[in-house]
Chain A
């Protein structure tokens, strides 16, 4: 039993790394732009496809493939603000109502998912693991890919937090999240920061997509359940609270992994989302409250 619990705890940590890469980006976009990016899961899917193209079609090494996949989704993400959000803001005179942006990103999500379906077909594309072998812990075997996920997710998240804390543009992102008018008064161009924020968040999603591709295969809707789970994480961590999202990612992933031991797996998602609704009703500000990044 103890060994089983340990095994699922490790699984929870790996899953938590993926959730965190995904949910922290979603939270960052929400904190800075006040927009819920429903299309975040599609950027994860595109990361997976980019890795597939790099590794399977062009036969590039896995490490290079991961870097290229992340970069590709970063560049795509850079387009979201100037091409979609800014024009809508302009037409609606700065303070556009939030629901319209929800519809906009929902539309983007459906558009991207259907484009992937049309371009690549619906089948599950297999991607070879980036690393072979694994770690034998006597009671369980942790595959190299899972270890890679843990390491790369940790490095990616640490890099993001250090960037936000110390880099001039990272500080500007925090400044805009806290006080857009004051940010403008010190010379920070809002549009550039919005563009960069979505680009970075999408890059993290793309990286996550590349990391999970060998485990879950690649298909158009691969990011969909993750998007809804990330909403649960975002709410649990407190809307806009990056550290909250980080912690909540690991809480949800661990609970999810351990629940396999007691809850029939077909009930897992229903119970996860039931919990999300419960948290929303009991503690709408999340476990850690809404804190600015």
Chain B
């Protein structure tokens, strides 16, 4: 469904990603892991159109995405949840959700879609009038996820959904993500929490210094000694 091949990208002239490839099939969960500064966020920003790729191919459902602006990538059926600060902090929870439906056009279509999302996130019914910036970090992350669901995306891209959250909230957000995936939405998740992503993802891609260092099934990665030492803190012997 999402196919990336030989993509190089970066900021200004500075190349951060060097010929990265990966793909996500329909209904799949794919994880991206790698050390800080490896280029994980840069890769997601390039897929979503915040950064133009220098070279390489990005296709979604057979159509090319490279060169489209984020608002147009979004209209192809991709949702994006940023690493931090993705909500409209000075607006209410409800306004955030209304804006999530911006591309639906009519007020009625937006309201119908919002009712569906409120049913999935009952927490936000009570918080509808609350300023999004005053929600807890975990709630803001959940709101950003909920906001992408208004338009029923086929794929959601998430940048470290568990970052800076207490374990209880990590469980919650991953519970939500797995449920979404069961309903047919594919997920591409950047995650520092390697154990967590190995539990939910069918496949994992490891990025290191802007290059593909490994790509394969989660089970396979668990066997991969160097990864275990580096990311799982286990002794390989």
Interface residues in chain A, defined as those with a beta carbon under 8 Å from any beta carbon in chain B: 93, 168, 171-172, 174-175, 178-179, 181-190, 291-292
Interface residues in chain B, defined as those with a beta carbon under 8 Å from any beta carbon in chain A: 12, 48-50, 69-72, 74-75, 79-80, 82, 85-91, 95, 98-103, 107, 110, 147-148, 151
Q: In the complex, what residues of A have CB within 8 A of residue B79's CB? A: 185
Decide if B91 touches A178 in the complex (CB within 8 Å).
yes
Decide if B69 touches A175 in the complex (CB within 8 Å).
no
Known: A175-B88, A182-B87, A292-B90. A187 touches B82 (CB 8 A): no
Decide if A187 touches B91 in the complex (CB within 8 Å).
no
A-B CB pair tally, cutoff 8 Å: 78
Decide if B86 touches A171 in the complex (CB within 8 Å).
no
Q: In the complex, what residues of A have CB within 8 A of residue B103's CB? A: 186-187
Q: In the complex, what residues of B have CB within 8 A of residue A292's CB? A: 90
Known: A184-B70, A185-B48, A292-B90. A93 touches B12 (CB 8 A): yes
What are 26 A-B contacts defined by CB distance under 8 Å? Answer: A168-B102, A168-B107, A171-B102, A174-B88, A174-B90, A175-B88, A175-B91, A178-B89, A178-B91, A179-B86, A181-B82, A182-B82, A182-B85, A182-B87, A182-B88, A183-B88, A185-B70, A186-B74, A186-B100, A187-B71, A187-B74, A187-B102, A187-B103, A189-B69, A189-B71, A190-B71
Decide if A186 touches B99 in the complex (CB within 8 Å).
yes
Closest to A167 in B: B107
When A and B form their complex, which 7 residue pairs have the shortest distance between CB atoms, in order from nearest?
Answer: A187-B103, A184-B70, A185-B80, A292-B90, A187-B74, A189-B71, A187-B71
Decide if B88 touches A179 in the complex (CB within 8 Å).
yes
Q: In the complex, what residues of A have CB within 8 A of residue B74's CB? A: 184-187
